[in-house]
Amino acid sequence: MCTAENSSRRNILKSMLGVAAFASLGGCATAMMKNTGARYARPLSRQPFVAPRISHDRIVRVITGLRPFRPKGFVVKREQFDDKTIIHNYGHGGGGISLSWGSSALAVREAMGMPIGKAAVVGGGIMGLTSARLLQDAGWQVSIYTRDVSRHTTSNVGAGQWGPTSVFEEGVASKAFEEQYKFAARIAHHAFQNLSGNPAYGISFAENYFLGNEPQEESYYLRELPELFTSVAHLEPHEHPFPFPYVERMVTMLVQPAIFLRRVRDDFYLAGGTIVVRNFSNRAEILSLDEAVIFNCTGLGAKALFDDEDLMPIKGQLVFMQPDPAVDYLTIGGGSDVTYMFPRRGEILLGGSYQFDDWSTHVEADVTDRIIADNKAIFDNMRL
């Protein structure tokens, strides 16, 4: 499972996420539980807060996924293998959905100056789909080769808040990478914002509340990319209903992964693309493809296929509850470990876990119990 080094990495990344492990309900939080009858100003919906109902008997499903993480950051580069050109686009940690259009734009830029023709994209997750769509827009004829169709990829397990978090470790990634990261984030945010007006893509804006018993360290992306978030504020106890003394708020985008992936896949088909279900066991099989230009969007698969020893999995577990359309905001933090609540169409998502270098994909009952207990403690004690 986790080494001491990985435990240190986990603490660094939790600070980036703004979800440091806070005690769930103690001290001054208990003193705040009195119902004040306050009305809380909400910048987006202007509706009253509604607490989701959290219990084991409302669980619809529990799933796990493995984030493809590199402490040095994701890889976008061009590499030559005899007459084949490989363009890599993988290793985005917990920020794959958020960075997708931007990182894929960087990858497609690597093909500039090459004769436009046929291209192969290996990997059918979010990076593969967005790389393929941008290639089509640039005039390429594209085929996606994938072991799993999009609904079975890691991308479909993502929580979906637009926030390019847990992508790299500060102090490990280079300053040049950080500039690349910020460029990709800005491009991706602009692309998602352009799509948000079409409900078919499953993108909407939502209020996000960060909860804790202690002041929270400012996340990297809020510090470095402040223009991408609105209504950012520290809220005083009388300005929110949560049973915590420290609450930060921002308005961001929420992406429904299943809806978004399906729509981008359909766009790919409409533009003349083809998807071939195929598993590659080694690099030679990839290089045997007919296409001379191949985009490597294999996520964790790149560890074995292209000998990337820096790539590691971070296991995440999600619990899905019965839907409640009245719940229209997100929360992060406030639990004994990684804790969050995101509403989706047709379900409420509860998270989560952050297990370094854990390749297992089985659901862990104790993690489910902890996710339920942490979220139940938050919402059962809201001052409504």
Q: What is the pLDDT of residue 2?
A: 42
Q: Identify which has the larger pLDDT, 51 or 20.
A: 51
Model pTM? Answer: 0.88
Q: How confident is the model at residue 150 (pLDDT cuts 50, 70, 90)?
A: low
Q: What is the pLDDT of residues 266-276, one digit of tens each?
A: 999 999 999 99
Identify the pLDDT of residue 155. Answer: 61
Q: How confident is the model at residue 240 (pLDDT cuts 50, 70, 90)?
A: very high
Query: What's the rounded mean pLDDT across residues 49-65?
Result: 96
Q: Higher confidence at residue 261 or residue 33?
A: 261
321: tokens are 């509850």
* Domains with residue ranges and CATH for the chain: 4-67+203-255+313-380 (3.30.9.10), 71-192+257-310 (3.40.50.720)
Residue type, 40: Y
Buried b / exposed e along 134-173 (16+ C-beta atoms within 10 A): bbbeeebebbbbbeeebeebbbbbbbbbbbbbbbbbeeeb
pLDDT at 20: 34
DSSP 14: H
d(CA 183, CA 188): 9
> At residue 157, does pLDDT exceed 70?
no
Q: Which of 63-67, 152-156, 367-371 has the highest mean pLDDT?
A: 367-371
pLDDT digits (tens, 9 = 90+) for 67-82: 999 999 999 999 999 9
Averaged confidence pLDDT in the chain: 89
Residue 226 has pLDDT above 80, yes or no: yes
Instruction: State the pLDDT at residue 17.
Output: 41
Q: How confident is the model at residue 231 (pLDDT cuts 50, 70, 90)?
A: very high
DSSP-assigned beta bridge partners for residue 315? 66, 355
Amino acid at 9: R
pLDDT value for 148: 78
Question: What percent of the chain stands above pLDDT 90?
Answer: 82
Between 282 and 22, where is the model more confident? 282
**pLDDT value, residue 25:** 34
Residue 18 has pLDDT above 80, yes or no: no
Contact 160, 170 (CB under 8 A): no
Confidence of residue 151 (pLDDT cuts 50, 70, 90): low
> From start to end of the chain, where are the E strands?
59-69, 75-81, 84-90, 118-122, 141-146, 203-212, 230-235, 246-255, 274-277, 293-296, 312-321, 329-333, 340-344, 347-351, 355-356
pLDDT at 152: 53
Residue 89, Cβ density class (10 Å: 0-12 exposed, 13-18 middle, ≥19 buried): buried
pLDDT at 357 over 70: yes
**Closest of 358, 353, 327 to residue 62, by C-alpha:** 353
Least confident among 36-40, 101-105, 339-343 = 36-40
Number of H helices, E strands in the chain: 10, 15
Per-residue pLDDT at 153: 62
State the sign of the Cα–Cα–Cα–Cα dihedral 357, 359, 363, 366: negative
